């Protein structure tokens, strides 16, 4: 039995702790926040337990299916026929299937044909590693033309990555298209999944298994330093004292690694520091009425710097009308310092455009969830920027959500990588 410390109790850390305990190791889980879950954590929204940041399940999320089965929760996964909308210049149109594509207003027939071929090919192709050094903007324009990029893609990239939009990797965009494209019941019907009770159901089940294994769990316990000696990990320093360990798995954002593991070679510290992130300020609204029948609405409006609106209650029935309005922002963007009230007001301006019948009087409750490290900036050549999971310090593994690039951040990918890191311990013994 080896003593293993897992740093971070988001989905990756929980999965790592669960797997390490399952493999027979003595486990200690430490988390700076007062509760588990990370980006999958819930909050009390006027009596409703709901995610701080929206999540959904796709048909390609095999690691999610596997762990739900192991935890006896397969029956909690539900599938729903969903739809998309496309709001352009004051007009909310249906989107996401061939008929909607050809009925789309303000776009030429040739652009529609090029766009359809592009999405179809992305959904079917399994490997596109040749795109690693190609900017998404250039790649999309080659396939969809200037009109296709400007009218159908530019707002999504510009209002998620701002000054970094022109450097985002085409390979990363391809995997996003493929993941959603393969979660379809048919060419005409998208189908997405949710877990009954939300992400908290999975978080609670993992916590229960970890606790039942006899693992120690410490919340409100930030790591001050990872301690090593003669090239081998010895444990961690925390406000609660030194915690000894044979193995340490870190799942916190890698931007924090140079501070807590300064003994790593400078070349490694430079790699961690070079990985940039976008923050998020996500407005969650509880409304008196629905905006639409769509789960997701893409937005192209010069007055709204929002890539889309997610009407979450059109996926997971929660008995309330729940809407997420995400503002992805570089930390240097002045908007990141906006007050909650300003974000909520701006979000409601957008909602009122989507459905003019909705006004501020329809807001039952509102909340803003903030996170500094929400979305890795996966620019061209990103694969070469990611260091190995196993560090030069024996027994110390480090990863976060960018380490499963080109896949985008998600619970399924985090679970898979967390479990893999735990399994690596047994392989090194």
Q: Where are the alpha helices (DSSP H) in 29-72?
A: 62-70
Contact in structure between 312 and 54 (CB atoms under 8 Å): yes
Query: How confident is the model over 192-242, as pLDDT tens digits?
Result: 999 999 999 999 999 999 999 999 999 999 999 999 999 999 999 999 999
What mean pLDDT comes out for the span 312-332?
Answer: 95
- Judged by DSSP in three states, 370 sits in strand
Q: Give bridge partners of residue 84 from the DSSP assignment.
A: 95, 296
Per-residue pLDDT band for 181 (boundaries 50, 70, 90) equals: confident
Whether residue 89 is contained in a domain is answered as yes
What mean pLDDT comes out for the span 265-285?
Answer: 95
User: With 90 as the cut, is the pLDDT of residue 303 above it?
Assistant: no
Whether residue 146 is contained in a domain is answered as yes
Contact in structure between 125 and 162 (CB atoms under 8 Å): no
Q: Which of 280, 273, 238 is nearest to 259 (CA)?
A: 273
Q: Which region, left, alpha or beta, applies to residue 72 given φ > 0 means left and ψ of -120 to 50 means alpha?
A: left
Q: Which of 328, 4, 23 is nearest to 159 (CA)?
A: 328
Q: Give bridge partners of residue 279 from the DSSP assignment.
A: 329
Whether residue 73 is contained in a domain is answered as no
Per-residue pLDDT band for 70 (boundaries 50, 70, 90) equals: very high
Are 291 and 362 found together in one domain? yes
Are 224 and 355 found together in one domain? no
321-329/277-287 β-pairing: antiparallel
Per-residue pLDDT band for 187 (boundaries 50, 70, 90) equals: confident
Arithmetic mean of pLDDT over the chain: 94
Whether residue 175 is contained in a domain is answered as yes
Are 133 and 202 found together in one domain? no
Q: Which domain holds residue 161?
A: 80-191
Are 105 and 167 found together in one domain? yes
CA gyration radius, the chain: 22
User: With 80 as the cut, is the pLDDT of residue 428 above it?
Assistant: no
What mean pLDDT comes out for the span 370-392?
Answer: 95
Give the global pTM.
0.94
Query: DSSP assignment, residue 394?
Result: B
* Terminal C-alpha separation, the chain: 10
- Judged by DSSP in three states, 363 sits in strand
Q: Of 144, 161, 191, which residue sits at a domain end?
A: 191
Are 86 and 181 found together in one domain? yes
What mean pLDDT comes out for the span 248-276?
Answer: 95
Q: Of 151, 166, 191, which residue sits at a domain end?
A: 191
Are 40 and 143 found together in one domain? no
Whether residue 395 is contained in a domain is answered as yes
Are 268 and 334 found together in one domain? no
Whether residue 85 is contained in a domain is answered as yes
Contact in structure between 159 and 131 (CB atoms under 8 Å): no
What mean pLDDT comes out for the span 307-333?
Answer: 95
**Burial class of residue 370 in the structure, from the number of CB atoms within 10 Å of its CB (0-12 exposed, 13-18 middle, 19+ buried):** middle
Q: How many distinct structural domains can be found in the chain?
A: 3
Q: Which of 109, 91, 75 is nearest to 196 (CA)?
A: 75
Residue 171's domain is classified under what CATH number? 1.10.405
- Residue 422: per-residue pLDDT: 97
Q: Of 166, 191, 216, which residue sits at a domain end?
A: 191
- Residue 429: per-residue pLDDT: 61
- Residue 384: per-residue pLDDT: 93
- Residue 1: per-residue pLDDT: 64
């Amino acid at each position: 039995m080896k003593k293993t410390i897992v740093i971070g109790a988001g989905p990756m850390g929980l999965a790592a702790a669960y797997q390490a305990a399952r493999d027979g190791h003595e486990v200690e889980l430490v988390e700076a926040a007062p509760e588990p879950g990370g980006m999958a954590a819930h909050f009390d929204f006027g009596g409703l337990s709901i995610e701080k940041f929206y999540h959904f399940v796709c048909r390609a999320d095999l690691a999610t299916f596997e762990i739900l089965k192991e935890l006896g929760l397969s029956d909690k996964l539900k599938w729903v026929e969903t739809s998309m909308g496309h709001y352009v210049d004051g007009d909310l149109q249906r989107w996401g299937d061939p008929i909607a594509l050809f009925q789309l207003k303000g776009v030429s027939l040739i652009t529609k044909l090029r766009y359809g071929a592009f999405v179809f090919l992305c959904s079917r192709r399994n490997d596109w590693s040749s795109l690693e050094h190609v900017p998404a903007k250039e790649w999309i324009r080659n396939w969809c033309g200037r009109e296709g990029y400007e009218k159908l893609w530019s707002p999504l990239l510009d209002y998620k990555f701002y000054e970094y939009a022109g450097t985002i990797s085409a390979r990363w965009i391809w995997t996003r298209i493929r993941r959603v494209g393969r979660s379809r019941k048919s060419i005409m019907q998208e189908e997405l999944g949710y877990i009954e009770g939300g992400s908290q159901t999975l978080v609670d089940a993992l916590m229960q298994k970890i606790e039942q294994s006899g693992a120690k769990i410490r919340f409100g316990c930030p790591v001050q330093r990872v301690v090593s000696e003669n090239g081998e990990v010895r444990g961690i320093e925390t406000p609660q004292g030194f915690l000894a360990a044979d193995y340490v798995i870190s799942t916190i954002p890698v931007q924090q690694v140079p501070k807590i593991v300064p003994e790593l070679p400078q070349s490694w510290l430079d790699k961690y520091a070079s990985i940039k992130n976008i923050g998020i300020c996500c407005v969650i609204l509880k409304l008196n009425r629905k905006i639409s029948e769509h789960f997701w609405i893409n937005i192209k409006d010069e007055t709204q710097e929002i890539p889309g609106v997610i009407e979450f209650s059109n996926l997971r029935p929660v008995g309330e009308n729940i809407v997420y309005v995400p503002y992805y922002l570089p930390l240097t963007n002045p908007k990141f310092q906006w007050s909650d009230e300003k974000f909520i007001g701006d979000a409601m301006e957008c909602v009122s455009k989507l459905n003019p019948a909705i006004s501020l009087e329809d807001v039952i409750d509102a909340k803003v969830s903030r996170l500094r490290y929400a979305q890795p900036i996966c620019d061209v050549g990103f694969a070469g920027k990611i260091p190995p999971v196993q560090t030069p310090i024996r027994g110390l593994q480090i990863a976060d959500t960018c380490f499963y690039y080109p896949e985008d951040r998600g619970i399924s990918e985090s679970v898979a990588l967390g479990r893999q890191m735990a399994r690596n311990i047994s392989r090194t013994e």
